[in-house]
Structure 1
């Protein structure tokens, strides 16, 4: 069964976008922005569904002081929570400025009421199908959507492939989707087999935006000297050591994006605004990242970078295989200083961008 078209372009048709938008994670907010912007540019009025999931909220936002369970936690909270609060405030301002967000806040017990507001529902990118993150909340599989409403998945991800009874549950929920596009080959292959239908491999929503637009959004240069930038880390923190060794070899200071502890041989840098985060990657000499979106924005800005895969490895694995960049995984002192051929990479990204944007338009019902 092939993906079906959903709705004819019509300004009276309204799209509700459901994703992890209420967040303090740069990648989550950037992919929300990119998908929302692309849907509206295709020609559909779109609104972010302000859905709140308790497990996601606890994961994204800082504890209250009274929730600390030890003196160590209290000390940590007093030392670092101010940075996270400032970041959360800036994210909220960005959300208000850049999006149409539903005036109603939805929860599991009232999300069905959203059917009266939208004609088509898009479940967006990020790990929205990772039950370990959202507490097995099948709202993100659009189980609340009434018959006759459009149901689309674009670049949706899962942490670990489902097993046992979960697999049958997922099959029953996703079989009713009108169109499905995912970011990872492993999920594409599994769902093609499970659902006996065409499931597409599409780019992350941030790739739908032309890199020149991301450059315009970035703030002015924050760090005036040349530098190595670190964002997140892998298990064992070996990425930190590699970045410091690389910096020493090339005479470059190493800055770590962190709102927490920072090793003595690294410098803390704390971007609070999306524009600052983009700037730090744009102007870095070299980027070391264990973040999927840290990797993607290094690509968009044509940076020298090394990635460290962690957790759900299929995201980085799939895009590195597609672009032919598997050799950028990890840096070692004896590794050659190969320069990335961005003329080739940019061509591949442009092709992927146009193919994915075309698929999204078809999912929504836009005729070419």
Structure 2
């Protein structure tokens, strides 16, 4: 039996990331393959520090690090919030311990990582925004650490941005050309690959969409987190107007608002936003919050995914300005275009109640999704079998 070395972002404090890893593992097991999630810890040697210097002038890397520092600093001013966030982080860690048991030994340092490749037959990098510009320097998610002789597969891996910075194009070309099988989660990602290396690649669904809602019920039994009827607001961005739109919907419908605050950012407005501010929540609870909501408002890709899978009435609000260099809207745009759900994008010229109550023909959506699911599964099956 072939053993797959998986490069996935399994230990991040993000519900969507953990769920897409879970889906990837479930599908690989279902297809009859053995695997390990590769654990890599960077070793701070003089050479590593020297090679890392270019990252210090990478605006994407710097912004990511500064945002994390800013968030920690702001949360530290509110001891009660800090304690609640700590409880949530513990739930994230417990999810990893419970569901991600096939972990490799910890490869400490780049040399150990390269040497460890001999423990596997092929390598797969799976979904999520693992090819973000600020990840380029790690040589991990782009599989640059893997010797040429080993097969390499990318399943639904996302660049996360609509364009590659000019100064990274040559290095991006280099790692893309080394893959035996390439696929992208977004139409824009497929176009980026074609523009860079002239190769047509398949657009496949996120791993979470490889399973139907009924199949997800087998992994995550239905359970009510909140007993009352509610609007679930899952916002990762900082736009205050999105919160005000949610409050308008709440006022018009008489429904209370449930939130999971301070995930990616600290937004002071969120200290008083929502009737249910939830912290003691893991990825299972996250799915059930969407399942049992009357309405969902979100700026999140996986918030959108599970709203679709659960046939919810939902509206997507743009987390980023489309003209922003850091915009990651393309992944949601792609999903909506493929499934004929572009009208679920928030339109400020329309009343929010009328917009969210607009009927969705989920019969047609499911037909399109089933076709995409089957096509994506065929790609993954062929890639694993033929390498």
Q: What's the TM-score, normalizing by structure 2?
A: 0.83
Partners of 1:140 and 1:233 lie apart in 2 by: 23
Q: In structure 1, how many angstroms separate the alpha carbons of the residues matched to 2:42 and 2:126?
A: 15
Instruction: Call closer, same or farther: CA 1:168–1:352 in 2, change over 3 Å.
Output: same
Match of 2:37 in 1: 48
Unmatched 5+ stretches in structure 2: 44-60, 320-326
Residue in 2 aligned with 1:241?
244
1:306 Cα deviation from its structure 2 partner: 0.4
1:116-173, CA deviations, whole angstroms, 9 ceiling, x for partnerless residues?
11111101111111022x3632321111111221101111111332132311111111
Aligned: 1:345 with 2:361: no
Name 2:337's counterpart in structure 1: 321
Does residue 270 of structure 1 match 2:279? yes
CA contact (8 A) 2:84 2:280 kept: no
Indicate how the Cα distance of structure 1 residues 62 and 53 shifts in structure 2: closer, same or farther if over 3 A, else same.
farther
d(CA) in 2 for partners of 1:82 and 1:317?
36
Q: 1:280 aligns with which of 272, 284, 289?
A: 289
SS in 2 for 1:140: coil
Can you list the C-alpha shifts for 1:166-223, whole angstroms capped at 9, x where unaligned? Answer: 1111111110100011011111012123222231100001001221132340451011
Q: Specify the alignment match of 1:140 in structure 2.
A: 141
**1:53 to partner: Cα distance:** 6.5
> Which of 301, 307, 319 is the aligned partner of 1:298?
307
Where does residue 3 of structure 1 map in the other structure?
none
Q: In the comparison of the two structures, how many residue pairs are matched?
A: 349
Cα distance, 1:272 vs structure 2: 2.2
CA distance in 1 between partners of 2:196 and 2:170 (Å): 9
Q: For the residues of structure 2 that align with 1:264 and 1:351, how far apart are their CA atoms?
A: 43
Matched, 1:92 2:100: no
The change in CA–CA distance for 1:181 and 1:53 in structure 2 (over 3 A counts) is farther
Does residue 21 of structure 2 align to residue 32 of structure 1? Answer: yes
- Which structure carries more relative contact order (alpha carbon 8 Å, separation 6+)? 1
Deviates more, 1:258-267 or 1:302-311: 258-267
Aligned residue for 1:116, secondary structure, equals helix
Residues in 1 aligned to 2:280 and 2:351: alpha-carbon distance in whole angstroms: 29
Q: Write the distance in 1 (CA, Å) between the matches of 2:338 and 2:216.
A: 22
CA 1:271–1:299 in 2, change beyond 3 Å: closer, same or farther?
farther
How does 1:124-135 map onto structure 2 within 5 Å? 124-132=126-134, 134=135
* Unmatched segments (≥5 aa) in structure 1: 1-10
Query: Per the alignment, do residues 323 and 229 of structure 1 end up closer, same or farther by CA in structure 2, a change over 3 Å counting?
Result: same
After TM superposition, list the pairs within 5 Å mapping 1:253-264 onto structure 2: 253-259=256-262, 262=270, 264=272
Question: Does the 8 Å contact 1:229/1:284 carry over to 2?
Answer: yes
Contact 1:218 1:278 in 2 (8 A): no
Shift of 1:93: 2.3
Q: Give the 5 Å matches for 1:1-368.
A: 11=1, 13-52=2-41, 68=73, 74-76=76-78, 78-99=79-100, 100-132=102-134, 134=135, 136-160=137-161, 161-216=163-218, 217-259=220-262, 262=270, 264=272, 266-267=274-275, 268-310=277-319, 311-330=327-346, 332-333=350-351, 335-336=354-355, 337-365=357-385
Rounded Cα–Cα distance in structure 1 between residues aligned with 2:128 and 2:107: 20
CA contact 1:214–1:278 (8 Å) conserved in 2: no
Tell me how far apart the structure 1 counterparts of residues 176 and 136 of structure 2 sit (CA, whole Å): 18
1:257–1:271 contact (8 Å) kept in structure 2: no
Conservation of the 8 A alpha-carbon contact between 2:75 and 2:81: no
C-alpha spacing 1:107/1:243, structure 2 compared with 1 (3 Å): farther
Give the C-alpha shift of residue 88 in structure 1.
2.5
Q: CA deviation at 1:52?
A: 4.3
Tell me the alpha carbon deviations over residues 233-280 of structure 1, each in whole angstroms, 9 at most, x when there is no partner: 545322211111112111111111114652535221224222111110
Q: Do the aligned partners of 2:87 and 2:279 also contact (CA within 8 Å) in 1?
A: no
Aligned to 1:8: none
TM (normalized to structure 1)? 0.87
